[in-house]
């Protein structure tokens, strides 16, 4: 028996090279480790944290992880120790089959840096496999005429281990006829055992011989396997089969269906009979290849039994044996090359997805890191990745088959809050195969948009006298951001209105933007409110914007007409007007002057006679307020005529006021007294005598009174000419203009002396007379006496204050007392005497009527009036007495409404400048106070 050859030296050299390669760190940008196969799960492979220059606790912080291309993960990272460990059982023979060296390549991703590190791990072999024969029992037929030295090949044992752990020797059990010879292949160094006939056989002596072939490896401990050989001695067969080719080669595409014939091997045998019949069978084929192919024993046809896969194995090597009936054999090799077909789609694996991403991320930000790989080879395995061009991203190849998706434009969440990115991986095969993956990228909002209003300004119209807490208006701002960045808070900018803070007038709901009134607005107090509404979002930092809001207060009819003239006495009595008995129809007795603090239609005034003691005697102008005689005065008409005039505006609902005054029908004051004395004839002589005496007494007292008044007025005139102060203020005494009217307060003071009706007789209903009371002493006190006797000037019974009503002498009648059309005071003064006509429907003309009041007042105040009135009398003293001064006329020019416009005529310029209206002396009304001083 041949002794096994010694291959120990060669195995030790291979092992030494493997160890040196595992221990060295080759400077090609890769890290090298080695680990024996079949190690337990979690076994240490290498210190990744040290080799990458990171602390072990920083691995998770930097996102260090293993990425692979779909293969079962063989290794894992220990986050605590920072080392690379095995993730399960590793079988080197399964990974690398018979390769001398087995390497596994993995990639380590440092995610926050976007870097990949290549790791090469060598799987070292251990002796974990026994040499294995394909059969356990083998029959070898040898003709008895075989000569010694004839060789018969024996089956080879297969050991998937490598190096010393692989098959190292064969041994044959001891016998007398055979020996064992082991040949070493020139190409691959494989050991091929052969049975050598040492002594001639004699079938008649021994028809069968039983041998045991032992295959042993060189591992530690040694492993071995056996095959039992039965040698059958045959009769003579002198020709062995011979194959037509020593090697058969064939190429086949991988997509051939099962059952496809690949090739046919053929061996010829010149013997006859059973010795010439050849049978074919697989002699040498691996366990993985055996299920893929089938061999027809009679024809030698080789066909596929299953589908081939180039990616699994691209080359198959097998041996076919031909044996005749006389047990003579021949062998041939069959080499099958599998050609790649583009039958695999590219595989795309997302390694890292950085979603969501902030919309202010800079250009070049990494969004996705993925791997694109195709299992095919050549052009079929070359992959090209692409995305839609309209997206703000681009693909960039990183290392090997890794790609990065980067931003190339600034993102805007308000335009696109989510991107659906389709990555298409296409190979270069024919026809090309492609794979699509869909990536959803969410964009995180950044507070980059301030709130915006739909309008640049808002105008709100609010009727006056609103309820407190009324909702006025609602402003709405829009913020295209999201979440807190879009939550808007409304507020009002700080401001003051008429010295009070804006917050005391209105408030705003910070969440809804609804504006509320905190007080009731008065149109007569102010017409509009100007404010700034601020909308701020809740982002960090917050953004805001402003919008101007104007609230215009609309007028309502909430003011009763105010009667300026005739003014009502403070003692409850009525005013007195004088009308001569010779007055013809249409004679102007007096004029009712009224104004309304409202504006527009609410300030249009109309006058009517509500009540008269003598119906049909007097009439009132509908729009002028002029009281005129409707017919000629008759002797039978009573001297005392009581009139009630109503003034009504045109608001909804209308408001009105009334004034009551008395018209004394007489040519002069003595006539008044005389007429009063002749009202009734005495019922008896005694009563008539008494009445006569009383009338004479009244006349005497009146004469004394008039004389005293004339003297007092003369002194006052003298004093007026000497006083510069009174001259500068324009409030000096003036003569009584030509009129038959005694001023309101003057007449009141005079007639109060006759205001008590005393029944003198039992038949007092027919004998009434005005008895004079000597209570006018206070009104006769001059300024000089007032200065000397102050208690006398401040008497509580005073009816005639010197400050407000200076005495003026009675002047003869003046034919110029009548008003011109432009000089009549009040809203009624600007109308023609159309007593029966309707109020003008031209709103502008109506408003001009109100403006005429101020025009007449200004004309009279600056001394340009032709009415002959004194300073501060508004041009009315010539007809209506000195008591109707400018200080009694409010400035209502702001109430004049111009149709079709929100503007009104105002006296704002005069108020701002602190000056009186043009053409007037606004300080003249203070002259009485200066005179008193």
The pLDDT tens digits of the residues spanning 195-251 come to 999 998 887 788 899 999 999 998 888 899 999 999 988 867 778 899 999 999 999
Give exposure, 73-84, as e/b (b: 16+ Cβ within 10 Å).
ebbbbbeeebbb
pLDDT at residue 116 in the model: 81
Q: Which helix (H) or strand (E) holds 65?
A: strand 64-67
Upstream peptide bond of 431 is cis (omega within 30 degrees of 0)? yes
Q: How confident is the model at residue 70 (pLDDT cuts 50, 70, 90)?
A: low
The pLDDT tens digits of the residues spanning 793-812 come to 333 333 333 233 333 333 33
Task: Quote the CA–CA distance of 461 and 550 in Å, as a whole number.
Answer: 8
Identify each DSSP E strand in 496-557 by its residue range.
496-497, 500-501, 506-508, 514-517, 528-537, 544-554
Three-class secondary structure of residue 13 per DSSP: helix
Q: Which helix (H) or strand (E) holds 626?
A: strand 626-629
Q: Is the pLDDT of residue 11 over 60?
A: no
Q: How confident is the model at residue 608 (pLDDT cuts 50, 70, 90)?
A: very high
Q: Among 200-209, 373-382, 508-517, 677-686, whose mean pLDDT is lowest? A: 677-686
The pLDDT tens digits of the residues spanning 521-559 come to 988 888 898 999 999 999 888 999 999 999 999 988 889
Q: Is the pLDDT of residue 577 over 50?
A: yes
Please enumerate in sequence order all residues whose Cβ is within 8 A of that of 630, keeping only pairs 6 or more positions apart, or say none: 585, 616, 617, 618, 619
DSSP states of 192-253 as a string? Answer: EEEEEE-S---TTT-SEEEEEEEEEE-SSS--EEEEEEEEEEE-------EES-SEEEEEEE
The pLDDT tens digits of the residues spanning 880-916 come to 333 333 334 444 434 443 333 344 334 333 333 333 3
Higher pLDDT, 402 or 112: 402
The pLDDT tens digits of the residues spanning 761-770 come to 333 333 333 3
Task: Quote the CA–CA distance of 12 and 913 in Å, as a whole number.
Answer: 118
Q: Is the pLDDT of residue 22 over 80?
A: no
Higher pLDDT, 150 or 926: 150
The pLDDT tens digits of the residues spanning 104-141 come to 888 888 877 777 888 888 888 888 888 888 888 999 98
Residues 852-877 have a mean pLDDT of 38
Beta-strand relationship, 247-253 and 329-339: parallel
Q: Among 41-50, 53-62, 552-561, 683-692, whose mean pLDDT is lowest? A: 683-692
Q: Is the pLDDT of residue 12 over 80?
A: no
pLDDT at residue 588 in the model: 93
Beta-strand relationship, 301-304 and 261-264: antiparallel
Mean pLDDT, the chain, integer: 74
The DSSP bridge partners found for residue 897 are 904
Task: Quote the CA–CA distance of 728 and 684 in Å, as a whole number.
Answer: 61
Residue 429, phi then psi, degrees to nearest 5: -75, 175
pLDDT at residue 158 in the model: 87
The pLDDT tens digits of the residues spanning 769-796 come to 333 333 333 332 333 333 333 332 333 3
Task: Quote the CA–CA distance of 66 and 918 in Å, as a whole number.
Answer: 95
Helices (H), 41-90: 48-51
Q: Which helix (H) or strand (E) holds 30?
A: strand 30-36
Strand order in the sheet with 588-591: 588-591, 626-629, 618-620
Highest-confidence segment of 702-716, 831-845, 864-878: 702-716
pLDDT at residue 818 in the model: 38
DSSP 40: P
């Amino acid at each position: 028996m041949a002794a096994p050859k010694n291959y120990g030296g060669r195995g030790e050299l291979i092992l030494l090279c493997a160890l040196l390669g595992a221990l060295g760190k080759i400077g090609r940008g890769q890290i090298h480790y080695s680990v024996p196969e079949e190690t337990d799960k979690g076994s240490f492979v290498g210190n990744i944290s040290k080799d990458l220059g990171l602390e072990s606790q920083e691995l998770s912080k930097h996102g260090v992880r293993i990425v692979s291309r779909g293969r079962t993960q063989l290794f894992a990272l220990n986050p605590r120790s920072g080392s690379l460990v095995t993730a399960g059982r590793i079988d080197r023979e399964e990974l690398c089959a018979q390769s001398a060296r087995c390497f596994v390549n993995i990639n380590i991703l440092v995610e926050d840096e976007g870097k990949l590190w290549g790791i090469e791990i060598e799987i070292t072999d251990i002796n974990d496999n026994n040499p294995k024969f394909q059969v356990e029992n083998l029959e070898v037929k040898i003709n008895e005429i075989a000569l010694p030295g004839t060789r018969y090949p024996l089956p080879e044992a297969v050991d998937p281990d490598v190096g010393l752990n692989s098959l190292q020797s064969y041994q044959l059990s001891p016998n007398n006829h055979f020996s064992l010879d082991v040949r070493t292949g020139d190409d691959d160094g494989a050991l091929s055992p052969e049975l050598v006939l040492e002594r001639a056989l004699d079938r008649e002596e021994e028809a069968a011989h039983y041998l045991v072939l032992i295959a042993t490896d060189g591992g530690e401990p040694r492993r071995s396997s056996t095959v039992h050989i039965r040698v059958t001695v045959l009769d003579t067969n002198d020709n062995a089969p011979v194959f037509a080719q020593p090697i058969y080669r064939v190429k086949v595409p991988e997509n051939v269906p099962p059952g496809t014939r690949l090739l046919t091997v053929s061996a010829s045998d010149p013997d006859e009979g059973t010795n010439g019949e050849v049978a074919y069978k697989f002699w040498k084929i691996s366990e993985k290849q055996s299920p893929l192919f089938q061999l027809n024993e009679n024809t030698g046809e080789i066909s596929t039994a299953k589908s081939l896969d180039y990616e699994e194995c691209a080359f198959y090597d097998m041996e076919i044996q031909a044996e005749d009936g006389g047990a003579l054999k021949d062998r041939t090799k069959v080499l099958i090359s599998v050609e790649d077909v583009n039958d695999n789609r590219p595989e795309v694996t997302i390694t890292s997805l950085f979603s969501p991403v902030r919309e202010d991320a800079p250009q070049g930000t990494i969004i996705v890191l993925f791997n694109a790989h195709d299992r095919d080879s050549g052009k079929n395995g070359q992959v090209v990745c692409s995305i839609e061009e309209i997206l703000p991203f681009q693909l960039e190849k990183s290392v090997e088959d890794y790609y990065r998706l980067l931003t190339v434009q600034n993102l805007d969440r308000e335009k696109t809050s989510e991107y659906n990115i389709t990555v298409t991986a296409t190979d270069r095969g024919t026809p090309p195969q492609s794979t699509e993956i869909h990536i959803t990228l969410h964009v995180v909002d950044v507070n980059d948009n301030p709130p915006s209003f739909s309008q640049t300004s808002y105008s709100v119209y609010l009727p006056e006298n609103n309820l407190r807490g009324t909702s006025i208006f609602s402003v709405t701002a829009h913020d295209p951001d999201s979440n807190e960045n879009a939550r808007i808070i409304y507020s009002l900018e700080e401001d003051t209105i008429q010295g009070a803070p804006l917050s005391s007038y209105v408030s705003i709901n910070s969440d809804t933007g609804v504006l509320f009134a905190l007080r009731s607005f008065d149109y007569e107090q102010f017409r509009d409110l100007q404010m700034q509404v601020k909308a701020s979002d809740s982002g960090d930092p917050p953004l805001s914007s402003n919008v101007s809001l104007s609230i215009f207060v609309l007028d309502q009819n909430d003011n009763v007409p105010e009667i300026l003239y005739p003014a009502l006495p403070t003692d409850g009595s009525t005013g007195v007007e004088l009308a001569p008995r010779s007055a013809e129809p249409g004679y102007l007795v007096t004029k009712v002057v009224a104004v309304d603090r409202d504006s527009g239609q609410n300030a249009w005034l109309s006058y009517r006679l509500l009540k008269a003691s003598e119906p049909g005697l007097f009439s009132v102008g509908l729009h002028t307020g002029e009281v005129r005689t409707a017919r000629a005065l008759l002797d039978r008409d009573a001297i005392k005529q009581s009139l009630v005039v109503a003034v009504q505006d045109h608001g909804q609902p209308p408001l009105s006021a009334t004034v009551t005054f008395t018209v004394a029908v007489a040519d002069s004051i003595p006539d008044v007294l005389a007429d009063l004395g002749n009202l009734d004839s005495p019922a008896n002589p005694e009563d008539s005598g008494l009445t006569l005496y009383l009338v004479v007494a009244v006349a005497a007292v009146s004469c004394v009174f008039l004389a005293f008044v004339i003297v007092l007025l003369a002194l006052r005139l003298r004093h007026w000419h000497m006083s510069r102060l009174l001259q500068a203020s324009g409030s000096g005494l003036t003569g009584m203009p030509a009129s038959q009217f005694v001023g309101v307060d003057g007449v009141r003071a005079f007639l109060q002396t006759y205001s008590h009706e005393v029944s003198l007789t039992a038949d007092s209903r027919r004998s009434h007379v005005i008895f004079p009371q000597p209570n006018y002493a206070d009104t006769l006190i001059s300024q000089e006496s007032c200065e000397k006797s102050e208690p006398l000037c401040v008497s509580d019974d005073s009816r005639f204050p010197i400050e407000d009503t200076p005495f003026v002498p009675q002047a003869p009648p003046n034919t110029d007392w009548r008003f011109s059309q432009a000089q009549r005071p009040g809203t009624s003064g600007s109308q023609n005497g159309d007593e029966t006509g309707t109020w003008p429907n031209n709103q502008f003309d109506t408003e001009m009527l109100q403006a005429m009041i101020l025009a007449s007042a200004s004309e009279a105040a600056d001394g340009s009036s032709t009415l002959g009135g004194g300073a501060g009398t508004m041009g009315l003293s010539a007809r209506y007495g000195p008591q109707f001064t400018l200080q009694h006329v409010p400035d209502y020019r702001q109430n004049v409404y111009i149709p079709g416009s929100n503007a009104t005529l105002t006296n704002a310029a005069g108020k701002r400048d602190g000056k009186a209206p043009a053409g007037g002396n606004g300080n003249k009304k203070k002259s009485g106070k200066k005179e008193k001083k």
